[in-house]
Chains A and B, each alone.
Chain A
Amino acid sequence: MQLVLTEDQELLAKTAADWVREHSPVSRVRQLRDANDPLGFSRAHWKQMAELGWVGIPFDEAHGGAGMGFADLAVVLEALGRTLAPEPFFSTVLLAGQAIAQGGSDAHKQAWLPGVCAGEKILALAYQEPHSRYDLLRVATQARPEGGGFRLDGQKIQVLDAAAADALVVVARTGGGEHEEEGITLFLVPKDAPGLAVTPQTRIDHRAAALVRIDGVHVDAGAAIGGVGEGAPLLAQVVDRATAGLCAEMLGSMSQVFEDTVAYLKTRQQFGVPIGSFQALKHRAAKVYMEIELARSAVMAAVRALDENAADVAKLVSLAKARCSDAFVLAANEAVQMFGGVGMTDEYDVGFYIKRSRVAEMTFGDAAWHRERWARLGGY
């Protein structure tokens, strides 16, 4: 494993950085928020990202994708993370899209992936429940056999881009008790299925999320992604992939908010000198720098481990998420402190980063959860 970008990845990074600078400043996120936009992102921007080939990066060429790797996707996500672009990469590409790509039948893939890669179809993965926290096995949503298919009942929370989605991948129990690996199944449910109710939720980062009530939704047997009752490993694999992608995005966000902070330290004057000349602030800034450097190494290792199918991929994903969670939260907290009073104002962008840092931290497990997982994977 080489922890360095290839020439192609350098080029991709530059293209993405240029595009972000021109088309996706943080002010765009502010406008979407202020307009109370029900979609939470821009379809025009999503379409452009698809035309640039970014949306299809991790999908097979046979299904309209580019057949590239996570190390490539990470480069794009990092660039987008710099200005907090809210387009539906996680819901559509990394969660539901990967569930279909990794576990779906040919029919599922043909039906959905070309549309996803073209930027036309939006998907969502409904997996989190009111009491599940980060435990993927804690699924109370039930799927009972009915009329040759299944009847689904339950409730999902904070489902990303559910309102915009054309279909939802719903995680439900066809068997087994709470916490059991056995009996989890993933179902592909069209958004207009009777019994499905989507209520938008407003979170601190203003990315589109929703409560999803599932009351007697009927799906036929062909809606199951992968084997019935055998969905837990697939779900774990998909969430690991999405976690690695999230880490790449977090890396971009923390790098940007830190660079903004360092620039502010050089310009803001107090006592007649730039505040960046004070040793108390220098040392804190140097520590944030080190934490971001370590986070970057962990992210690069995790996405390469995914591409190489390495044996310790789960540990490396947990390493990346633990480090990114801590580093992003630190960088954002320090940013608000070092900006001082204006860091508390809505007018400055810093606030967008501190809010996003908490959402990202608590998506797919926080640092403590991933340290516990590391210990478990290490047999202690």
Chain B
Amino acid sequence: MAEIDAFRDEIARWIAANAPKSLVGAPTAELEGVWGGRKAKWSNPDQKRWLDACAERGLTAPEWPRAYGGGGLTREEAKAFRQELAKAKLPPPLIGFGLTMIGPTLLMFGNEEQKREHLPKICRGEIRWCQGYSEPGAGSDLAGLQTRAVLDGDHYVLNGQKIWTSYADLADWQFCLVRTDPNAKKQEGITFLLFDMDTPGVSVKPIRLISGSSPFCETFLTDVRVPVKNVVGKVNGGWTVAKALLAHERTMIADAFGGAAGGGKSKGLSGFARDYLELDEAGRLADASLRHRIAQTEMDTRAFLLTTQRARDAAKAGHAPGSESSMFKVYGTELNQRRLEVMLAIAGPQALGWEGAGFDDAELAMTRDWLRSRANTIEGGTSEIQLNIIAKRVLGLPD
């Protein structure tokens, strides 16, 4: 215990000495975070300075091995670092799919050369990654994907189309699934590949969503030549890699939405409600049915967070993890949707603005967030697919 306290003191001192003051209180949400990459735009030069300082100490990926640019910290030390960051009201130096998805996957399945090539660039925020999984004909039935990769000397030649590629327009590299054996059983002819988005034949088109923003893209692949050395895992063994990465993705989504589910920004749902709703003589929300919905959302959020804590505590105590990531994905995303639905109900007609006069910025952002949140139970494996996984893996129900 003393060792972790000493570490905590040391890292807190380091944060105090190195964190730019201008970043204190900076937003930590997805859109405002630092994603890095060749196309990175720095809204504040201190973001870059903070990223470099953290990367030099391995703190962008605290738990990864030092040899690959990580910090080599224990889980407990990494947690202490994140807690000290939060205490100092500082944003994480770097976010993105390199850290949450492809990095952990390469650590598990990548060869030494791949780890040495890609992981340090992720840690330094030099390369931003995107995920090429879904296709127009392969959504929930992901293993039905049709993008072809044909061997030609020491390259694969890719032809096909990926869709819902998050931030493909801003990414430098893509990890993707391609079909290398069209005659095998559908899960057995898939290979996991990495390619540079600047390779000739790659083109990207953002998709406009109901929320007005375009976080997702279509990626078109026409005779794209990818070196064979960019295969992760075995040729035709990509499905195993793909599933492991999906578990990381579910955990990431559950963390993002479950953590945010506390309520309307920092005030909580009940605080948010006080700005819109009538109070009774005792100072309580007069609308009993909304009060009830707010309490239920708050309570379900607390129970969800306790459950994620329980999973962590059990893992620490040496119990094998179950298929919690599916449960957390379903529940975390549905909670986020419910939170936004309750916020809409609280704001009433003020929640109906798209842009312009009569609505404040927070109201307009809330409404866009609500529209965006409808994707939460679709992306990263629909709720229905997660329920299938729970039924099969946890409950052992037959196919």
Q: Which A residues are closer than 8 A to B by beta carbons?
A: 2-4, 262, 265-266, 273-274, 276-277, 279, 281-283, 285-287, 289-290, 293-298, 300-301, 318-319, 322-323, 368, 371-372, 374-376, 378-380
Contacts and interface: CB of A to CB of B under 8 A. Distances in A.
Interface string B34-49: 0000000000000000
Given A298-B303, A375-B285, 4 more contacts: A3-B309, A265-B397, A375-B295, A379-B284
B397 A378 contact: no
A276 B398 contact: yes
A172 to B, nearest CB: 28
A368 B394 CA distance: 30
Contact of B284 (A266, A279, A282, A380): A380
B302 interface: yes
Contacts of B294: 375, 380
B24 interface: no
Contacts of A265: 397
Most central of A2, A296, A297 by chain B CB within 10 Å? A297
A290 B330 contact: yes
A265 B391 CA distance: 11
B275 to A, nearest CB: 12
Contacts of B310: 3-4, 296-297, 300
Contact of B298 (A283, A285, A293, A378): A378
Nearest to B273: A380
B76 to A, nearest CB: 13
A301 B294 CA distance: 21
Given A282-B387, A298-B303, A262 B397 contact: yes
A378 B398 contact: no
Interface string B282-303: 0111000001101110111011
B364 to A, nearest CB: 25
B397 A3 contact: no
Interface in B221-250: none
A334 to B, nearest CB: 13
B398 A376 contact: no
B159 to A, nearest CB: 34
B106 interface: no
B388 interface: yes
B296 A4 contact: no
Contacts of B397: 262, 265-266, 276-277, 281-282, 285
Nearest to A377: B295
Interface string B264-283: 00000010011000000001
A318 B331 CA distance: 20
Interface on chain A toward B: helix, strand, loop, or mixed SS?
Answer: helix
A375 B330 CA distance: 26
15 contacts: A2-B317, A3-B314, A4-B310, A262-B396, A282-B395, A286-B388, A286-B390, A290-B327, A294-B303, A294-B304, A300-B306, A300-B310, A371-B296, A375-B292, A380-B294
Contacts of A273: 398
Interface residues of B, number: 41
A371 B299 contact: yes
Contact of B306 (A281, A289, A301, A372): A301
Interface string B355-399: 000000000000000000000000000001001101110111111
B217 to A, nearest CB: 31
B307 interface: yes
A276 B398 CA distance: 6
Contacts of B303: 294-295, 297-298, 319, 323
A301 B306 CA distance: 8
B267 to A, nearest CB: 11
A115 to B, nearest CB: 38
Nearest to A322: B299
A287 B334 CA distance: 12
A208 B1 CA distance: 50
Contact of B292 (A277, A301, A371): A371
Contacts, number: 120
Contact of A375 (B284, B313, B319): B284
Contact of A294 (B285, B295, B300): B300
Most buried by A among B295, B302, B330: B295
Interface string B303-329: 110110110011011010000000100
A372 B307 contact: no
A282 B330 CA distance: 15
Contacts of A283: 384, 387-388, 391
A203 to B, nearest CB: 28
Contacts of B284: 375-376, 379-380
A297 to B, nearest CB: 4
A374 B298 contact: yes
Contacts of A289: 327, 390, 394-395
Contacts of B391: 276, 282-283, 285-286
B285 A286 contact: no
A378 B270 contact: yes
Contact of A368 (B274, B283, B285, B292): B292
Nearest to B297: A371
A27 B294 CA distance: 42
Contacts of B390: 286, 289-290
A183 to B, nearest CB: 21
Nearest to A371: B295
Contacts of A298: 302-303, 306
A378 B395 contact: no
B385 to A, nearest CB: 11
Nearest to B384: A283
A3 B292 contact: no
